[in-house]
Amino acid sequence: MLRPNRRGGAVAASAFPSDLGGGEPLIVVRDLRRTYAVGPDRVAALAGVSVTVERGAFIAVMGPSGSGKSTFMNVLGCLDRPDGGEYRLDGEDVGHADPDSLAAVRNRKIGFVFQSFHLLPRLTARANVELPMVYGGIPRAERVRRAAAALEAVGLGDRWHHRPAQLSGGQQQRVAIARALVNRPLLLLADEPTGALDSRTTREIMELLRDLNRGGLTIVLVTHEAEVAAYAGRVLTFRDGRLAGDAPPADAAGAAVPG
Amino acid sequence: MSPAESVRTALEALRANPLRSALTMLGMVIGVAAVIAMVAVGAGARDQVLRQIASLGTNLIMVGQGSVQRGAVRLGAGTAASLTEDDAAAIVREIPGVAAVAPSVRWGLQVVAGNQNWNTTLFGITPDYLEARDWTVTAGRPISDDDVVRGGKVVLLGETVVRTLFGGGDPVGETVRMFTTPLTVIGVLGGKGQNAGGQDQDDVVFVPLSTAKRNIPGMAKTNPRFVHSLVVKMGDGADMAAAQAQIRDLLRQRHRLAEGADDDFWMRDLSEIAATRDASSRALSFLLAAVAAVSLLVGGIGIMNIMLVSVTERTREIGLRLALGARRRDILVQFLIESATLSVIGACAGVALGIGVAVAVAGMAGWPALIVPEAVLLAVGVSGAVGVFFGLYPARRAARLDPIEALRHE
């Protein structure tokens, strides 16, 4: 197993305001394990993974299906709890927290972007962006203001009243990114965010993410595509529930071929 | 998530599927409308019955001829020929608190006017009878004491009789024949309509008691003093039960009945009839309410069904909400509010429909619809509870979804 490489995010992290308070890396994972019961068998989706992610890093996660990368993302996103090992997010032990605390962590510290966008079809773009703030208990007037600002930031300020069906795929993903950012999270988790988009739109979305990262946001992104991974400063490659590679994109692309 | 936000979210979800929401509510609408309409119609009917009974007078005691026992065979009521005008006089004389006693005889016969005839019921009465039974005279004059003393050949006609014999024209001064006896019509009785048992109370003619006995062949052959029944009118505030006991003792003594022998007369207090009628209409209301409760239950099951469908359809949405920071409690509350909203809006529509139906039914049946506020509150409250109860299972299912599985759901 390779030694964690901190080169990718270290420079940007110093520019990120929230870094001023916390000296600890944003994500510290030690010997993370997660086992599922499949019929009578027990399958180790994560068989001891240790990673540290500095504040302001841009990480790509790659690996074949069944390699454990989805489980890793679910644990990072506090949607799943590990049954072994340690996970500290922003200095807080979230590996053993109760469901309501995890809900609060997801709400305040993590933004999610999905391959299939996951917008609610009956809500306008702005109402979709407001959702995390609804669960964060933010008053309505402020929600409207912040949602409008977030849509403005992703270049959709004039489309706030459109419903998802009236928007293109790229626009829908921008709405989803605005929603992920509106509670000012420390960490953006993106699960194949460009998997449903054409190459031109993919470039636009990745440039948007790169700009956000340059602004100081920590991003962890799952992808199958080398061009997408190329935007990251560091690529984690998973195989059989373990971390099989941890290198800058150029090295990872070369390493992935022989497998 | 604040309660206001929960309600807003629930309403948004219901608006997204208006037809489905409306159809789901329909179950509650019908259930609640049934409760409201049935209770209102039932209460109206009951009120009507009580009013009729009150119109008979609750301070009256009816005494009638009993049956004769010959060996083991009991003959029909009224065969004893035991009550007499002297019994009536004795009751007035000896029972304290009696305002009046009205003896009467009753006979079914044909009356004839010109070429018209009509089978009706004749009562031989005294003036007290009119007062005790609340009869009014709308045209002409009532029967007087003098008519009774003289055996005057005069008659009062009920509205039905006037209509059939005189086609609604003024009969006062005309002559009608009873058997061979011509009687002069001196007045017309005010209409009473049907009684609680559905009989036409206006199909009657009244003559003086003495006139009936003298001129109806065979009526008074065994005892010229006999009467069929007595109406005892008690003064205000009299103890009806005590008066009945005293009258029973007096009559048994006068009729020389041995200790342990059956009464040879019957006696009824109208408040007893009122209580029986009231109890039977109460039982009916209860039955209607039970039927209505079943329809509310069915409405509740409909809501549960549609909520389960909704939870399955919206699995991805639930997963997303959980990922964005919703707690399980937020999801539970959201779905509970949705089901409660469905049932309460349905209930409100049901109240409106139920009132409409009650007014229509009561209009057709000819009695007032009594909208009972307690029933309205109860129906809305119960349906809210039904919505929460039947929403609980689907809502728990939604709240227990695993966010990862839910997000992946197709």
pLDDT in tens, A13-36: 333 444 444 578 999 999 999 998
Please give the residue that has the higher pLDDT: either B196 or A179.
A179
pLDDT in tens, B146-186: 998 888 899 999 989 998 888 878 888 888 988 888 999 99
Name the residue facing B316 among A103, A118, A123 (closest C-beta): A118
Inter-chain CB proximity A114 and B328 less than 8 Å: no
Chain B contacts of A107, Cβ < 8 Å?
324-325
> Which of B9, B317, B324 should be substituted to probe chain A, the one whose Cβ sees the most A Cβ atoms within 10 Å?
B324
Inter-chain CB proximity A112 and B323 less than 8 Å: yes
Q: Residue B68 to residues B233, B245, B265, B347: CA-CA distances in angstroms? A: 27, 22, 9, 60
Q: Which residues of B157-193 are buried (b: 16+ CB within 10 A; e: fewer)?
A: bbbbbbbbbbeeeebbebebebeeeebebbbbbeebe
The H-assigned helical ranges of chain A are 7-13, 69-76, 99-109, 125-135, 140-153, 169-181, 199-214, 226-229, 249-256
Q: pLDDT exceeding 90 applies to what percent of chain A?
A: 77
Q: What is the pLDDT at residue B280?
A: 75
Residue of A nearest to B13 (CA): A122
Q: pLDDT exceeding 90 applies to what percent of chain B?
A: 24
> Which architecture does CATH list for A7-119+185-256?
3-Layer(aba) Sandwich (3.40)
Mean pLDDT over B366-385 rounds to 82
Query: Is-contact A246 A2, C-beta < 8 A?
Result: yes
Instruction: Identify the band that residue B362 occupies on the pLDDT scale cut at 50, 70 and 90.
Output: confident
Q: How far is B301 from chain A (nearest CA, A)?
A: 27
Q: How many helices (H) and strands (E) does chain B have?
A: 13, 12
Name the residue facing A80 among B325, B328, B404 (closest C-beta): B404
pLDDT in tens, B50-107: 776 666 666 788 888 876 555 555 555 555 567 888 888 899 888 888 888 899 988 8
Q: What is the pLDDT at residue B99?
A: 85
Residue of B nearest to A103 (CA): B325
Inter-chain CB proximity A137 and B325 less than 8 Å: no
Res B275 pLDDT > 90: no
Report which of B103, B128, B66 is spatially closest to residue B213, judged by C-alpha positions: B103
Q: Which two tokens stand for residue B16?
A: 């997204």
Q: Domain boundaries in chain B? A: 3-52+276-408, 100-234
Chain A contacts of B407, Cβ < 8 Å?
79, 114, 118
Res A108 pLDDT > 90: yes
Inter-chain CB proximity A134 and B5 less than 8 Å: yes
Mean pLDDT over A76-95 rounds to 93
Q: What is the pLDDT at residue A258?
A: 40
Res B22 pLDDT > 60: yes
Inter-chain CB proximity B322 and A137 less than 8 Å: no
pLDDT in tens, A155-194: 999 999 999 999 999 999 999 999 999 999 999 999 999 9
- B50-56's contacts with Cβ under 8 Å and 24+ in sequence apart are B50/B274, B50/B277, B50/B278, B52/B195, B52/B196, B53/B196, B53/B270, B53/B273, B53/B274, B53/B277, B54/B274, B55/B134, B55/B192, B56/B133, B56/B134, B56/B270, B56/B273
Q: Which residues of A69-85 are buried (b: 16+ CB within 10 A; e: fewer)?
A: bbbbbbbbbbbbbbeeb
Mean pLDDT over A219-235 rounds to 94
Q: How far is A74 from chain B (nearest CA, A)?
A: 7
The helix or strand, by DSSP H or E, that contains position A35, with its residue range, turns out to be strand A27-38
Name the residue facing A132 among B15, B324, B329 (closest C-beta): B324
Name the residue facing A135 among B13, B319, B326 (closest C-beta): B326
Q: Which two tokens stand for residue B209?
A: 């008691």
Inter-chain CB proximity B324 and A107 less than 8 Å: yes
Res B352 pLDDT > 60: yes
Q: Domain boundaries in chain A? A: 7-119+185-256
Inter-chain CB proximity A103 and B16 less than 8 Å: no
> Which of A34, A74, A79 should be substituted to probe chain B, the one whose Cβ sees the most B Cβ atoms within 10 Å?
A79
Report which of A233, A250, A249, A232 is spatially closest to residue A193, judged by C-alpha positions: A232
Residue linked to tokens 């079809």: A121
Query: Is-contact A125 A156, C-beta < 8 A?
Result: yes
Mean pLDDT over B331-341 rounds to 92
Mean pLDDT over A215-219 rounds to 95
Residues belonging to chain A with any Cβ–Cβ distance to chain B shorter than 8 Å? 74, 77, 79-80, 99-100, 103-104, 106-108, 112, 114, 118, 120, 122-123, 131-132, 134-137, 179, 183
Name the residue facing B324 among A80, A122, A131 (closest C-beta): A131
> Which of A108, A120, A183 should be substituted to probe chain B, the one whose Cβ sees the most B Cβ atoms within 10 Å?
A120
Query: Is-contact A235 A69, C-beta < 8 A?
Result: no
* DSSP result, A98-157: -HHHHHHHHHHHEEEEETT----TTS-HHHHHHHHHHHTT--HHHHHHHHHHHHHHTT-G
Q: Which two tokens stand for residue B234?
A: 């008690």
Q: What is the pLDDT at residue A2?
A: 40
Q: Are strands B181-189 and A234-239 parallel, antiparallel or unpaired?
A: unpaired
